[in-house]
Amino acid sequence: MRTTNRKAEQQNQKTSDPLMTEGKYQELTQKLNRLKKNRPLLAAEVSRLAELGDFSENVEYQLAKGKLRGLNNAILVLENQLLRCEVITQPHQTDRVEIGHTVTVKCGNKQTHYQILGSTETDPQRGIISHNSPIGAALIGHKVGEKILVSLGNKKEVAYTIIKIQ
């Protein structure tokens, strides 16, 4: 007989993209340290509320215990992510597009800049795209002057020409 997975277990099974910049690594390390600093306070609160007795009707205890579980889960996820991460270094060569490059492309009459990073740092509004995105994956390995056709989700192909690699 197969048992069902709880939501928390399903979230733990997701694998995140290990690629990140040094700045993102430092940000996650600081977040982990903040969470670890709050853990003893929350554990003490759970312990204090447990002393009030009757766990079945002690709503404050149940809520505090749920918060502690959530905090422990967040710590485990961050520790796993930091353990498995690969820090992206700025590529020295600029003849082919690689992860870490900023690429200027032309689509029609419009020029756009894309920085290609890992999935944890994507921000399309700022021009940061994932190497797994349709555009990012299509650009990897190509040279300046090459024309790339990108197939978008609505079954439409868009042509991009690489202008500059930084």
Q: Residue 153's pLDDT band (boundaries 50, 70, 90)?
A: confident
Instruction: Provide CB contacts within 8 A for 77, sequence distance 6+.
Output: 11, 12
* Domain presence at residue 107: yes
pTM over 0.85? The answer is no
**159 φ, ψ (degrees, to nearest 5):** -95, 130
Cα 107 from Cα 135, distance rounded (Å): 12
* Domain presence at residue 2: no
Among 87, 113, 144, the domain boundary falls at 87
Among 87, 113, 146, the domain boundary falls at 87
pLDDT tens-digit readout, 29-80: 999 999 999 999 999 998 888 887 777 778 888 899 999 999 999 999 999 9
Q: What is the mean pLDDT of the chain?
A: 87
* Domain presence at residue 53: yes
81 plus 109 within the same structural domain: no
15 plus 76 within the same structural domain: yes
Residues in the chain, overall count: 166
* Domain presence at residue 60: yes
Q: Which domain holds residue 48?
A: 7-87
